[in-house]
Structure 1
Amino acid sequence: MKAVLFDMFGVLARVQSPASQTVIERTAGVSGEGFWDAYWGLRPPYDRGDVMGPAYWKNVGERLGTPFTGGQVDDLIAADLASWSEIDQESVDFLAELARRGVRLGLLSNIPEELAVHYEATQEWLGHFSVVGLSCRIGSAKPEPAAYEWCRRELGLSAEEILFVDDRSDNVLAACEVGMRGHVFTGVGALAAALGEGITG
């Protein structure tokens, strides 16, 4: 392997906590499975950059039959951003160690534009990546093959020279289907063991 391609949420940053989900539900005035079905069902165009936050939340409200006010939309964007902003410091420290060792690093994340801007403004460790594939900027999102191919081209490597790391097995499987190696992330220890001496210059 000549490069490690990281997912962000669930690997380097934490996924939404129950507490942060409760804040979003309270802000929306809607809760339960129906709310989250609308939230996730309408998410792909938002992650790909086809729509921005106001349009996304307008669509969610319409799907639920509960239109949100302009103030609610602003608050929902803020609550949603906060829910994805907790960093996994152990993983970020490990990333820094890989960078110090000279390992070539890439990032492939499904992320909407507002959240991408927030991370760019606040997380200096993004500078460890030689290639940053943000779904809202590249026009495709995992597990679409085009997202992995974009990163492969930017890294200038063959697919088999890249290890893709993600906490979701479906995303890892999609990477393997385009020829990359894959690792389902369960923790830093297991990833460090999987890497072993497998990285070359």
Structure 2
Amino acid sequence: MADVIVFDLFGVIARTQSPEAVRRIEKTAGVFGKSAAAFWKAYWECRPPYDAGQDAAAYWAAVADRLGIAFPDVPALIEADLDSWTDVDEAMVELVVELADRGRTLGLLSNIIGELVPRFEARHGGWLSRFAALTYSCRIGVAKPDPRAYRICAERLGVAPGEVLYFDDREDNVVAARETGMRAEVFRSPAQVRELLLP
């Protein structure tokens, strides 16, 4: 039984962008149809430095440069993007609280942009307080799947990587976690986690 459990945030406890949020971002960016596909490609390809601490203006300038366009309202685009990452899966939140109540040591390891952290913590501070360590990419200067992110997370929890069971919805992040010595599982559902941790 794993006593130290680390979760990814987005796609595990927090929800990924909803279709409505995606449409709002596209409308704010002024992209439609084929240009929307190119926009999202640039959005994700430019994201790693943003996750690692780059400021919002520089990130959106990089996306615009990649596309060869100028966005009509960057502050509104930043706002739409931040709002798109604040919803959570209540079943996973309940599971986090239950695990904490049972004495499990919990950690969070998330690729997250700096501007989002205070907004997310203000909305979800209650259950976030149940984690022994919150390791955010924007604050440590490296993002998953960089192996340093996993090592820093383990260090903050006061354990060796081999003492951690890690859950992430991305296969590449799980592979990287295993390469650092963590036990790691690709997240599928709250039921999967419950079955593994609360038999």
- Shorter chain as denominator, the TM-score bin is over 0.9
Pick from 42, 46, 51 the counterpart of residue 42 of structure 1: 46
Q: Give the distance between the partners of 1:2 and 1:126, measured in 2 at CA.
A: 18
Pick from 142, 152, 157 the counterpart of residue 150 of structure 1: 152
Q: Which residues of structure 1 form unaligned runs of 5+?
A: none
Identity among equivalent pairs (%): 49
Q: Show CA shifts across 1:98-124 (max 9, x none).
A: 010110000000000011111122212
Q: CA deviation at 1:166?
A: 0.7
CA contact (8 A) 2:166 2:183 kept: yes
Is residue 59 of structure 1 aligned with residue 62 of structure 2? yes
Whichever residue aligns with residue 43 of structure 2, its letter is: Y
Q: Show CA shifts across 1:19-63 (max 9, x none).
A: 2111101100014221011100110110000x2111111211121
Q: Show CA shifts across 1:144-166 (max 9, x none).
A: 00000001111111212100011
Counterpart of 1:74?
A: 75
Secondary structure of the 1:165 match is strand
Secondary structure of the 2:188 match is coil
Counterpart of 2:128?
A: 126
Q: Give the distance between the partners of 2:198 and 2:119, measured in 1 at CA.
A: 33
CA contact (8 A) 2:30 2:71 kept: no
Q: Give the distance between the partners of 2:170 and 2:65, measured in 1 at CA.
A: 29
Q: CA deviation at 1:194?
A: 1.4
Q: How does 1:159-198 map to 2 (within 5 A)?
A: 159-196=161-198
Q: Show CA shifts across 1:110-141 (max 9, x none).
A: 00001111112221211011111000001111
Q: Give the distance between the partners of 2:134 and 2:60, measured in 1 at CA.
A: 26
Q: Give the distance between the partners of 2:44 and 2:26, measured in 1 at CA.
A: 14
Q: Give the distance between the partners of 1:11 and 1:156, measured in 2 at CA.
A: 23
Q: Give the distance between the partners of 1:149 and 1:164, measured in 2 at CA.
A: 12
Secondary structure of the 1:107 match is strand
Q: Give the distance between the partners of 2:88 and 2:197, measured in 1 at CA.
A: 22
Q: TM-score, normalised by structure 1?
A: 0.93
Q: CA deviation at 1:184?
A: 1.1
Whichever residue aligns with residue 179 of structure 2, its letter is: E
Whichever residue aligns with residue 29 of structure 1, its letter is: G
Give runs of ≥4 in structure 1 deviating > 6 Å: none
Q: Give the distance between the partners of 1:58 and 1:159, measured in 2 at CA.
A: 37
Tell me which moved more, 173-182 or 52-61: 52-61
Is residue 96 of structure 1 aligned with residue 69 of structure 2? no
Q: Give the distance between the partners of 1:154 and 1:13, measured in 2 at CA.
A: 22
Q: CA deviation at 1:3?
A: 0.4
Q: Give the distance between the partners of 1:177 and 1:65, measured in 2 at CA.
A: 38
Counterpart of 2:11?
A: 10
